[in-house]
Amino acid sequence: MKSNLLIVDDEIELTQNMKELLEDDVQKIFLAHNGEEALEILKSEKIDCIISDIRMPVMDGLTMFEVAKERGISSPFIFYTGHGSQELKDRVLELGAFDLLTKPNFINLEMAIKEALA
């Protein structure tokens, strides 16, 4: 899985931990701490998969996802949140996201990333 990932989460320690756990399996990992930072990265970098929290300051993950889609970004989008529900999962899948997983289930996140990049 030598691909570029973008991890978007306002929990800085979590993004660093995720980067350390995933970095051996990918080419490069970009980190952003809100939706606006992520959209800036998406303007200039080829990203193969986006992993994003939903609740963040400045711009939440759902808004970022909608803006990214409007800009023609079609990379698989996996929401990784501590505030998930079946209703929210159904909603994001209907909007075109690849998946919604609940923190801290990191093993399922790794599997979803591999499936998204397959």
Write down the domain spans for the chain: 4-117
What pLDDT, in 10s, does the model give residues 53-98?
999 999 999 999 999 999 999 999 999 888 878 888 898 899 999 9
pLDDT band at 15 (very low <50, low <70, confident <90, very high): confident
pLDDT of residue 24: 80
pLDDT of residue 13: 86
Q: With beta carbons less than 8 A apart as the criterion, state whether 76 and 49 touch.
A: yes
Burial 51-71 (b: 16+ CB within 10 A, else e): bbbbebeebbbbebbebbeee
The three-state secondary structure class of 7 is: strand
In this structure, CATH architecture of domain 4-117? 3-Layer(aba) Sandwich (3.40)
Q: Which residue has the tokens 């923190």?
A: 103
How much is the pTM? 0.88
